[in-house]
Amino acid sequence: MSELTGEETGLAREVIGLLVARGGTVAVAESLTGGLLAGALTAIPGASAAFRGGVVAYATELKAALLGVPSGLLDRHGAVHPAVAAAMADGARQRLAAAVGAATTGVAGPDPQDGQPVGTVHIAVSTGRGTTVRSLALTGGRQQIRGATVRRSLGLLVAVLREENL
């Protein structure tokens, strides 16, 4: 995913626009997307007014060390779990001092991970009012899964920002 699609650009522009209009900020915690979500958001001119930063915690132990994901949760379920996505989003929001945190975790392939099949993805958005998690079963190759995860994450950010009027 080297260049953003029109859909991704439109969603990212809306996320940044909503945050800037409300004086809000966003931080991201990424695993399978490896920085693609942060890249989509920072591709928008003026993103620096709303984007705080991101953590790419690809290795499982970094999810605990950098984002505060409980080690017991990771031991019980592995890195690919809805509760891990929620904890990552909350950790990004708190540790990077943002109004909103977003997270991605899952299996892009080519092989299953933690007993989860390729295409299993969990995304989350955390605000001071709570955390919204979506579990996805995506299809396609590695790049298609990563791209779809970015699009769905941007869409979830837009939905939460519209709903909560942050």
Pair 44, 69: CB distance under 8 Å: no
Length of the chain: 166
Reported as a pLDDT band with limits 50, 70 and 90, residue 1 is: very low
Q: What rounded mean pLDDT belongs to the chain?
A: 96
How confident is the model over 81-130, as pLDDT tens digits?
A: 999 999 999 999 999 999 999 999 999 999 999 899 999 999 999 999 99
Tell me the Cα Rg of the chain.
14
Distance CA 105, CA 133 (A): 11
**Position 82, amino acid:** P
Res 4: pLDDT: 83
Pair 49, 74: CB distance under 8 Å: no
Res 166: pLDDT: 61
Distance CA 30, CA 49 (A): 21
Res 3: pLDDT: 78
Percent of the chain with pLDDT over 70: 98
Instruction: Please state, in angstroms and as integers, the Cα–Cα distance from residue 55 to each residue in 31, 126, 131, following that order.
Output: 9, 15, 18
Domains in the chain (CATH in brackets) are: 6-164 (3.90.950.20)
Q: Average pLDDT of 144-160?
A: 98
Reported as a pLDDT band with limits 50, 70 and 90, residue 20 is: very high
Res 2: pLDDT: 54
State pTM to two decimals: 0.96
Res 83: pLDDT: 98
